[in-house]
């Protein structure tokens, strides 16, 4: 594949308009999986047409689930029931998607057949013991390549429920165990060190599976049935994040981001930017499919550096690359701690952001679990996205206010979570184009 680099040019003009970003990645993955093993037909609207979620749909298709696509952003899922998936000897390719692989590991651990989950170069470097170890205590049999993909899941192992106190705050770990718990004897209980996004719990409930949950705790028992329901996927706040930060930092801007999912476990970026002096209001707040959604109205404001409170870190775990850019332009110093998880995302996001910002003349000290950023100005330069969609989009935002163009290497993976980002960004006033 030829490599795609981008150039983000400083524009000197404000960003204006209404923006609808694509559907939520976490909700889209889960809607496919629960629809697949439900009884009946589920209609998903607002589905993310990204490479990550399409990889999950393709895998479920290989396992015998039929999907229809009446229009882009919609899927009709013909559920096969809890025990209706069929095995395949072909490897199942999760692409770049950690969520796809970790959740499918839980789902496939409970099947009667063997499966092999593989991923791209980035996913093949990511830690999997965080799911395979607790799944093994439930009775699953999974081989890894030294704790990393591929995952060879041996089917037919009887699973038993466990109480698992997770050492990491990870919705992927929690969800993998709950998915395996559907197939287990007895109760599966997950206790988290800090509450994480609860879409698995809320969607299981919507599909009719009895589940007890509260922030940081979830418990279910095996032996029930999932009944198909329709799912409305909200716009992804993690994709909105790039426009939120862009409108905050470009003078004169006013962007309205419509129908954004505002689950409280996802809104840490809004809290962080508010502490920094941002001007963000929520309008038209409502619930859709049990989830809070609303329109975010973001106006430019002069940002100031802050010491980020530790307790909001898990609520904005995917938004740090964008926050690093806000911090780089803010007055004064921003300190980020307690975010070591960033080192095991699609790239080592602390290193990728620190090196990229340094290349643009920003004063930044990398810490094992965060960074200290001395804000003020961003220069031009060449940065490597390390094939990480969120690093690429963050530097596209940085280019808006840089003193010279920023060239961003290796941007093709933006299509994993945000197909059409460049076109949408340019409609609001970015000047973003492929490098010749």
Min dist. Cβ of residue 318 to ligand S3P (A): 5
DSSP SS3 for 22: coil
Instruction: Tell me which stretch binds ligand S3P (CB under 6 A): 138-146, 170-178, 319-327, 354-362.
Output: 170-178
Rounded Cα gap, residues 423 and 428, in angstroms: 9
> Is the Cβ of residue 37 or residue 178 nearer to ligand S3P in the bound state?
178
> Is the Cβ of residue 196 or residue 385 nearer to ligand S3P in the bound state?
196
Tell me if 166 sits within 8 A of 174, measured CB to CB.
yes
Binding string, 395-434, against ligand S3P, x = CB under 6 A? ----------------------------------------
Rounded Cα gap, residues 370 and 142, in angstroms: 33
Rounded Cα gap, residues 35 and 42, in angstroms: 6
Tell me if 194 sits within 8 A of 124, measured CB to CB.
no
> Is the Cβ of residue 227 or residue 343 nearer to ligand S3P in the bound state?
343
Q: Determine which residue in the list 8, 96, 115, 170 makes contact with ligand S3P, applying CB under 6 A.
A: 170
78 to 117, contacts with ligand S3P by CB under 6 A?
Answer: 99
Tell me if 121 sits within 8 A of 387, measured CB to CB.
yes
Min dist. Cβ of residue 116 to ligand S3P (A): 21
| DSSP letter (8 states) at residue 234 | P
Q: How many residues bind ligand S3P (CB under 6 A)?
A: 11
Cα dihedral 134→135→140→144 (10° resolution): -90
175 binds ligand S3P (CB under 6 A): yes
172 binds ligand S3P (CB under 6 A): yes
Nearest to 43 by CA among 259, 232, 260: 232
Min dist. Cβ of residue 313 to ligand S3P (A): 10
Rounded Cα gap, residues 215 and 278, in angstroms: 27
Min dist. Cβ of residue 430 to ligand S3P (A): 24
Known active-site residue 318: yes
> Is the Cβ of residue 302 or residue 343 nearer to ligand S3P in the bound state?
343
> Is the Cβ of residue 323 or residue 362 nearer to ligand S3P in the bound state?
323
Q: Determine which residue in the list 51, 315, 318, 384 makes contact with ligand S3P, applying CB under 6 A.
A: 318
334 to 393, contacts with ligand S3P by CB under 6 A?
Answer: 341
Rounded Cα gap, residues 317 and 338, in angstroms: 10
Rounded Cα gap, residues 296 and 278, in angstroms: 12
Query: Residue 272: which residues within 8 A CB-CB, separation 6 or more?
Result: 306, 308, 312, 316, 319, 323
Instruction: Tell me which stretch binds ligand S3P (CB under 6 A): 62-70, 167-175, 249-257, 260-268.
Output: 167-175
Instruction: Tell me which stretch binds ligand S3P (CB under 6 A): 10-18, 111-119, 168-176, 213-221.
Output: 168-176
239 binds ligand S3P (CB under 6 A): no
> Is the Cβ of residue 156 or residue 368 nearer to ligand S3P in the bound state?
368
Q: Around 157, how many Cα atoms within 13 Å sit in the side-chain half-sphere? A: 22
Rounded Cα gap, residues 121 and 127, in angstroms: 13
**Buried b vs exposed e over 111-143: b needs ≥16 C-beta within 10 Å?**
beeebbbbbbebbeebebebbbebbeebbbebe
247 binds ligand S3P (CB under 6 A): no
68 CB-contact burial (10 Å; exposed 0-12 / middle 13-18 / buried 19+): exposed
Binding string, 176-215, against ligand S3P, x = CB under 6 A? --------------------xx------------------
Q: Say how many residues make up the chain.
A: 436
Min dist. Cβ of residue 317 to ligand S3P (A): 5
Q: Which residue is nearest to ligand S3P (CB)?
A: 26
Min dist. Cβ of residue 80 to ligand S3P (A): 23
Rounded Cα gap, residues 129 and 210, in angstroms: 28
Min dist. Cβ of residue 265 to ligand S3P (A): 10
33 to 62, contacts with ligand S3P by CB under 6 A?
Answer: none
26 binds ligand S3P (CB under 6 A): yes
Q: Determine which residue in the list 317, 352, 360, 400 makes contact with ligand S3P, applying CB under 6 A.
A: 317
Q: Which of 52, 93, 236, 318 is an active site residue?
A: 318
DSSP SS3 for 247: helix
For residue 382, the cross-strand partners are: 407
> Is the Cβ of residue 263 or residue 334 nearer to ligand S3P in the bound state?
263
Rounded Cα gap, residues 228 and 268, in angstroms: 32
Note the residues at the interface with ligand S3P (CB under 6 A): 26, 99, 170-172, 175, 196-197, 317-318, 341
Residues labelled as active-site residues: 318
């Amino acid at each position: 594949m030829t490599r795609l680099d981008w150039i983000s040019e400083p524009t000197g003009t404000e960003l204006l308009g209404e923006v609808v970003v694509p559907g939520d990645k976490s909700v889209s993955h889960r809607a496919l999986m629960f629809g697949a093993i439900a009884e009946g037909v589920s209609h998903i609207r607002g589905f993310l047409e990204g490479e990550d979620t399409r990889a999950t749909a393709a895998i479920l298709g290989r396992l015998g689930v039929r999907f229809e696509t009446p229009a882009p952003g919609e899927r009709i899922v013909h559920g096969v029931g809890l025990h209706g998936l069929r095995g395949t000897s072909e490897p199942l390719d999760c692409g770049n998607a950690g969520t796809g692989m970790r959740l499918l590991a839980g789902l496939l651990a409970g099947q009667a057949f063997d499966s092999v989950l593989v991923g791209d170069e980035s996913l093949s470097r990511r830690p999997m013991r965080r799911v395979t170890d607790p799944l093994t205590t439930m009775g699953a049999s999974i081989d890894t390549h030294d704790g990393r993909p591929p995952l060879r899941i041996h089917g037919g192992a009887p699973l038993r429920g466990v109480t698992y106190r997770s050492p990491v705050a990870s919705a992927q770990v929690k969800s993998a165990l709950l998915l395996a718990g559907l197939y287990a004897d007895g109760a599966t209980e997950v206790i988290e060190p800090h509450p994480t996004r609860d879409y698995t719990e809320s969607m299981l409930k919507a599909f009719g599976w009895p589940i007890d949950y509260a922030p940081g705790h979830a418990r279910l028992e095996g032996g029930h049935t999932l009944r198909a329901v329709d799912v409305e996927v909200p716009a992804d706040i993690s994709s909105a994040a790039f426009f939120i930060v862009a409108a905050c930092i470009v003078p004169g801007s006013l962007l309205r981001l419509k129908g954004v999912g505002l689950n409280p476990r996802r809104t840490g970026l809004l809290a962080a930017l508010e502490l920094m002096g941002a001007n963000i209001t929520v309008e038209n707040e409502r619930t859709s499919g049990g989830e809070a959604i609303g329109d975010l109205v973001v106006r430019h404001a002069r940002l100031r550096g802050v010491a980020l409170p530790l307790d909001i870190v898990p609520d904005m775990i995917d938004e740090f690359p964008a926050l690093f850019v806000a911090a780089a332009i803010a007055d004064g110093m921003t300190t980020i701690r307690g975010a070591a998880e960033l080192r095991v995302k699609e790239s080592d996001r602390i290193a990728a952001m620190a090196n990229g910002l340094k290349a643009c003349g920003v004063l930044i000290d990398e810490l094992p679990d965060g960074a200290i950023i001395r804000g003020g100005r961003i220069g031009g330069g060449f940065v490597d996205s390390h094939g990480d969609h969120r690093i690429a989009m963050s530097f596209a935002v940085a280019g808006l206010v840089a003193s010279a163009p920023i060239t961003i290497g290796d941007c093709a993976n933006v299509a994993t979570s945000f197909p059409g980002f460049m076109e949408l960004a340019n409609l609001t006033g970015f000047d973003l184009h492929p490098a010749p």
